[in-house]
Amino acid sequence: MEKKRIIDEKSKDEQLEMFREDPEREFLTTNQGVRISNTDISLKAGERGPTLLEDFHLREKITHFDHERIPERIVHARGSGAHGYFQVYEPMTEYTSAKFLQNPDKKTPVFVRFSTVVGFRGSADTVRDIRGFAVKFYTEEGNYDLVGNNIPVFFIQDAIKFPDFVHAAKPEQDNQMPQAATAHDTFWDFVACHPETVHTIMWLMSDRAIPRSYRMMQGFGVNTYRFVNSKGKGRFIKFHWRPILGIHSLVWDEAQKISGKDPDFHRRDLWEAIEMGDYPEYEFGVQIIEEEDEFKFDFDILDPTKIWPEEEVPVKIIGKMTLNRNPDNFFAETEQVAFCVSNVVPGIDFSNDPLLQGRLFSYLDTQLIRLGGPNFQEIPINRPLVPISNNQREGYHRMTINKGKTSYFPNSVGENLPRPAIAEEGGYVNYTEKVEGKKIRERSEKFKDFFSQAKLFWNSMSEPEKEHIIKAFHFEVGKVMDPEIRKAVVDEFNNVDGDLAIEIAKGVDVPVPEQKGGSKVMKESPNVSQERTEHTAKNSIKSRKIAILAADGYDYKELSQVMQALKGSGANADIISKYRGMLKSSSGEKLEVNKNYLTAASVMYDGVYIPGGKESIKTLKMQGDAIHFVHEAFRHCKPLGATGEGIELFKVANLPDIIFAERKSADKVISDKGVVTVMRIESSSFNDSFIAALAKHRHWGREKKEQVPA
């Protein structure tokens, strides 16, 4: 009889414990366990003589080192992982038999890997790119992998185009440039040759492609899947993840600067949040379409370049995922984790989405080369929590020692075991879908509508979002050397929106199209806009980072009052000054400086606060670094706060068209375009106003003020 294991939140951790190595062993040994007496000097024939081949320790150490690398993922090479758990809110029995979606008391362990797509393993985090959002659920029925992205659509409609697409997007083959960027000729040539890419390109040019944090981005399954209930009834579904912290992005100038100042920005953010107990949380949702409604929409529900607008097919929120533990070892866990779209459990099945169909093949195939053979599921991070029993044997790196005589089925020698399970015993039964058709290389008619949803996306953007998209085109297409490609891109987007095409043309040295074109679609889907969607939390500053600039002589009362208020709302603050060490207030208290101007920059923070204190402000006014900090934060539309003499720094920085608090009404808080000031903080509502400004994240109204240098 099979042993039943109870799977809970801790199960994966307990399983991994069996493989963990304690670093505090006393003696160095070889891989054979022989103690080593010297690991610094190789065995030589005499002090100045040649090294001897018989030095087994030297050979083993160097050989192992020589083999430390495995091929990086062909796409999504750069990633960061975290452990956590998933909990469903209510039984989903009506829709799916998947056991991990039935019991709200059950916590299913998960491992998540976030990634960029195009860059190599060592590339920067904040590049313009789609982000991978892959989740491995270690369920009681085996592993289920939901391998998604932070953008709900994909560039191409058929998996057969994927190698072409990736070749065009990756650095160019002659010179391997540019790194982790799509701003180059081959990428835009591919785009111009493939109108099916335009909808996803709109998303890629939007702020979605430069998230503030992995903790603040949505996730989407992209492809159409199926839920199947225990009666065998199937429904089409799309999966969604929604971050509890809301959806927030960087601005492009900031993203580029962070790439240099802290290429690990997203990795560090995720790691530190988990270390500090700010556990990232995401709600899980599904869109459901009944089979009889398959053809009811003006898009084909199998087309991965199309969304199911939430206004037409609402997202049902069914559970929550919490990430609460960092990996112990990056390579063993984050690098070796192998996601396969084909890993499903009973109750979840596939659709005929042609991109998905190809993915079902590709992921398993790629793990074979990446992880060196067919036994990669035995690597601890990939092991299911339920027993594996089948007749697959041998191959590179086989760990399991299969006992008994038989490795075939049926057999009479081994009591005919292990045997297939029927559905009632938990056996996976593929959905019985009727399929009839001629063998052809064709796509369905609605797949050929490339522009309607790109226009829908454009219609749904707020004004600042539209501005950002146009600027992104100016940067990306502006870097294309070949004028023919630039022209082809403008012509292509003239099919989406005539005004958009004109705006793109202006910035990339291409004549505006002779005939203003554009799709006729007037509809909007506000939920695709980060600014307009109701899913963006705009009332919390939990885990945001605030920079406090100060020098000796700062006002202790002001600083500590603001710090406390920020902390009380869940934000984190760093004190930044010219030197690290202790800063002395005007009343003698000392506070530790966390970063100096070289180790910190405004681009690493969500907001800036300047406390008063005559001497402190006198010093800051003389420091170009402090003024630059304020300029840059202003230009990036971040919330800024100052109290008392702190306001003088803003005045010296010449922040344009901003009204500041005045001495004559000392308790009056002035909040103008995200710049919050008060002369006397004590009995004022400064903290509330500053926190409200921080919660808004960005104050786009200031963006036009291009005269502020940054």
Dihedral sign computed on CA atoms, order 609, 612, 616, 618: positive
The least CB distance from residue 179 to ligand HDE, in Å, is 18
Candidate residues 15, 108, 115, 602; the one interacting with ligand HDE per rule CB under 6 A: 115
348 versus 617: smaller Cβ distance to ligand HDE: 348
Side chain identity at residue 80, one-letter code: S
Q: Tell me how far apart the alpha carbons of residues 709 and 430 are, in angstroms, rounded to a whole number.
A: 61
**Which run of H or E residues covers position 633?**
helix 624-635
How many other CB atoms are there within 10 angstroms of residue 170's CB atom? 22
Candidate residues 301, 355, 675, 678; the one interacting with ligand HDE per rule CB under 6 A: 355
493 touching ligand HDE, by CB under 6 A = no
- ∠ Cα 616 655 617 (to 5°): 5
The footprint of ligand HDE on residues 293-332 (CB under 6 A) is 304
Candidate ranges 271-279, 324-332, 356-364, 482-490; the one touching ligand HDE (CB under 6 A): 356-364
Q: Which long-range contacts (CB under 8 A, 24 or more apart) does 374-377 make?
A: 375/399, 376/336, 376/338, 377/338
Candidate residues 359, 544, 545, 702; the one interacting with ligand HDE per rule CB under 6 A: 359
Q: Tell me how far apart the alpha carbons of residues 221 and 359 are, in angstroms, rounded to a whole number.
A: 12
16 versus 337: smaller Cβ distance to ligand HDE: 337
243 versus 613: smaller Cβ distance to ligand HDE: 243
Integer CA distances (angstroms), 326 to 111, 112, 147, 275, 702, in order: 10, 10, 20, 7, 38
222 touching ligand HDE, by CB under 6 A = yes
> Do the beta carbons of residue 125 and residue 77 sit within 8 Å?
no
190 versus 605: smaller Cβ distance to ligand HDE: 190
The least CB distance from residue 636 to ligand HDE, in Å, is 29
Q: Tell me how far apart the alpha carbons of residues 397 and 319 are, in angstroms, rounded to a whole number.
A: 37
Integer CA distances (angstroms), 96 to 325, 347, 348, 349, 460, in order: 29, 5, 7, 10, 33
Q: What's the first-to-final CA gap in the chain, in angstroms?
A: 69
Candidate residues 76, 226, 557, 635; the one interacting with ligand HDE per rule CB under 6 A: 76
Candidate ranges 73-81, 206-214, 479-487, 611-619; the one touching ligand HDE (CB under 6 A): 73-81
Candidate ranges 211-219, 358-366, 466-474, 576-584; the one touching ligand HDE (CB under 6 A): 358-366
Catalytic site residue 699?
Answer: no
366 versus 594: smaller Cβ distance to ligand HDE: 366
The residue written with tokens 């998905």 in the block is 356
Candidate ranges 144-152, 270-278, 484-492, 680-688; the one touching ligand HDE (CB under 6 A): 144-152
Question: CB-based contacts of 605: which residues, under 8 Å, 6+ apart?
Answer: 545, 546, 547, 574, 633, 638
Half-sphere exposure of 603 (CA within 13 A, CB side): 20
Burial class (CB in 10 A: 0-12, 13-18, 19+), 53: exposed
Binding-site string for ligand HDE from residue 77 to residue 106, where x marks contact by CB under 6 A and - marks none: --x---------------------------
The residue written with tokens 């003389």 in the block is 622
The least CB distance from residue 117 to ligand HDE, in Å, is 8
Question: How distant is the alpha carbon of residue 238 from its chain centre?
Answer: 19
Q: Tell me how far apart the alpha carbons of residues 62 and 325 are, in angstroms, rounded to a whole number.
A: 33
Candidate ranges 74-82, 496-504, 524-532, 552-560; the one touching ligand HDE (CB under 6 A): 74-82
Candidate residues 86, 95, 137, 154; the one interacting with ligand HDE per rule CB under 6 A: 154
Determine the residue with CB nearest ligand HDE: 132
The footprint of ligand HDE on residues 123-142 (CB under 6 A) is 132, 134
305 versus 602: smaller Cβ distance to ligand HDE: 305
Question: CB-based contacts of 105: which residues, under 8 Å, 6+ apart?
Answer: none
> Do the beta carbons of residue 306 and residue 153 sit within 8 Å?
yes
Candidate residues 43, 58, 74, 244; the one interacting with ligand HDE per rule CB under 6 A: 74
Catalytic site residue 527?
Answer: no
**Which run of H or E residues covers position 423?**
none
9 versus 333: smaller Cβ distance to ligand HDE: 333
The least CB distance from residue 171 to ligand HDE, in Å, is 17
> Do the beta carbons of residue 148 and residue 219 sit within 8 Å?
yes
> Do the beta carbons of residue 531 and residue 464 sit within 8 Å?
yes
Pairing mode, if any, of strands 316-325 and 281-290?
A: antiparallel
197 touching ligand HDE, by CB under 6 A = no
Kindly name the residue from 143, 149, 326, 495 that is annotated as catalytic: 149
The least CB distance from residue 241 to ligand HDE, in Å, is 12
Binding-site string for ligand HDE from residue 596 to residue 625, where x marks contact by CB under 6 A and - marks none: ------------------------------
* Total residues interacting with ligand HDE, rule: CB under 6 A: 25
Q: Tell me how far apart the alpha carbons of residues 345 and 364 are, in angstroms, rounded to a whole number.
A: 16
Kindly name the residue from 57, 76, 468, 697 that is annotated as catalytic: 76
Specify the DSSP class assigned to residue 429: -
Side chain identity at residue 619, one-letter code: T
362 touching ligand HDE, by CB under 6 A = yes
> Do the beta carbons of residue 11 and residue 385 sit within 8 Å?
yes
354 versus 607: smaller Cβ distance to ligand HDE: 354
The least CB distance from residue 647 to ligand HDE, in Å, is 47
342 versus 462: smaller Cβ distance to ligand HDE: 342
Question: CB-based contacts of 230: which residues, under 8 Å, 6+ apart?
Answer: 93, 97, 347, 423
569 touching ligand HDE, by CB under 6 A = no
Candidate residues 7, 88, 110, 147; the one interacting with ligand HDE per rule CB under 6 A: 147
Pairing mode, if any, of strands 595-596 and 572-577?
A: parallel
279 versus 363: smaller Cβ distance to ligand HDE: 363
418 touching ligand HDE, by CB under 6 A = no
Give me the active site residues, please. 76, 149
Contact residues for ligand HDE, defined by CB under 6 A: 73-76, 79, 113, 115, 132, 134, 147-149, 154, 159, 162, 222-223, 304, 339, 355, 358-359, 362-363, 366
